Structure 1
Amino acid sequence: MKKELHEANRLSWNAATVAHNSHKGDQAAFFRNGGSTLFPEETALLGDVKGLSVLHLQCNAGQDSLSIARLGAAVTGVDISDEAIAFATQLAAQSDISARFVRSDVYDHFRDAQARGERHDIVFCSYGTLCWLSDLSAWAHGVSQQLKPGGRFVFIDFHPFAMVFDPSWKFHFDYFNDAPVPEEGVGDYVSQSGDGLVPEGCERGVENFSNPHPSFEFSWGVGQVTTALSQAGLVIERLDEYPYANGWKPFEGMRDIGGRRMAPPEGMPRIPLMYSLVARKP
């Protein structure tokens, strides 16, 4: 486990979160008016969560956590970013939605929660999460430990195959990469994606954001993810792939095909841009 790289990522996310939220307007009003940031895919995968305990790993600034809590779940959101958790805690209070938020490296949270004997009906994580994990096996075992018998792990993320491309759709990155990938820092993908990631309308906010803190990402293929979860004792119930990316426009010419589902340019062969997985603890 490369905790020093996690610490670098924490600083990078602290800076980026300020920029991201600057584009999202009055989020408390959005939630008070009944808004939700969940896409239909997450809602369908989660199912009826009323009365269930949900652990939301790498919850960022808490918008999806609060959307799940509004559906009747008791939600605990965990994220490494101080800025994200402080924002999430304030947003919950201003939105009058009950949720608990914890600032922690996900691996530290697994250790601490296990010591307290915590267990959940659902562990959930989504969109841009696995690339920040330096030890996939330890993560999978932590997910398994946090689930009650019969509990479910619900996961959706951008497809690792799509990450082989540069922004102009040229093959650039290695799918089978075992080394941390140094980056210039977490970028302002919210501004880049415009209304795709801000259902209430993207505002100008911070312009020309340049992160002063570098970041480090890790590559995990679909096979590695499913194997790690299986070896941690979880039973894979479904694995689905999607020819679009919810909200995100990482490549040139991406177009909204409806419902903020972003697809490649017209005429380009369809490729998997997202995948989801549901696993159950026996």
Structure 2
Amino acid sequence: MSSNNSPPKGGEGSAGDVPRSAASFASAEPTNRRELSAYLTGSAVLFAAYFYFIAWIHLYFYYRELGISLMSLDIPIYYFIVYAYSAIDRSSIDTYLLVLAAVFAFSILDRSWSVDRIPFVDIAHRVLLTGFLLLLFIFGYALARTQGLRQANDARLGKILYPVHLAFKDVSRSPVFAEIIVADRNFELSLITETKDNVYILREPTAKSAVSPIAFTYTLARKDLSYIKVDLLSEGYSDSQLCGIPPVCDLIRFITEPTNEKGFVAR
């Protein structure tokens, strides 16, 4: 009669499962990290593409209304992602809420659903995500175009551009220079933008109560100018103008304003 000194079969299986289970958890953790990193990277690239698109549309319509080709400004590509915020910043608080809702909706639609194993649901899920991304493009185009045209209108009204004064090295080189000097004396010139080679000047009538039916944009070479003087005019900013987002303004005001001994904000 032979004796079996080996451990019970069930015990062998239980003891053997422990290291295998630990190894599976150890291998699953970096896999999950890689999946999360890939997801975040893909989402960041997607939203960067949207921001670039919104900024390009915004700047295109803004400069087009002022008679300037966007291609002539040589704006670096990475600047467009930053400029995209100006299209949103000039909007109401409702636009901020819509952007947050869009991000939340994207995070829901872009993830895998437990019912995706059903063929019809999987197809509907993909159609919903595709339609949502297309709606984002349409909404982004409408928002950027509207804000670009509105900003150009504000520029024509003298709300956002600074008055500028120019001095030419040789006025006799062009009859246009003499025309610009006369407009300068009448305070009709404003600085639109500038590059390393050119300066773009807007000439509007002095009456800024309404957009003039005609205006002029001058593209001047820097080499023809001896100096440019910009008038920095400001009547001061309110709290809402400094911050732009009312809830954030209230929080900043609560943090930065001094408090009295009772702990209330001093007014």
> TM over 0.5: same fold?
no
Which one has a larger percent strand, Structure 1 or Structure 2?
1
Larger Rg: 2
Q: Which has the higher helix share?
A: 2
* TM-score computed with the length of structure 1 as normaliser: 0.21
Bigger relative CO (Cα 8 Å, ≥ 6 apart): 1
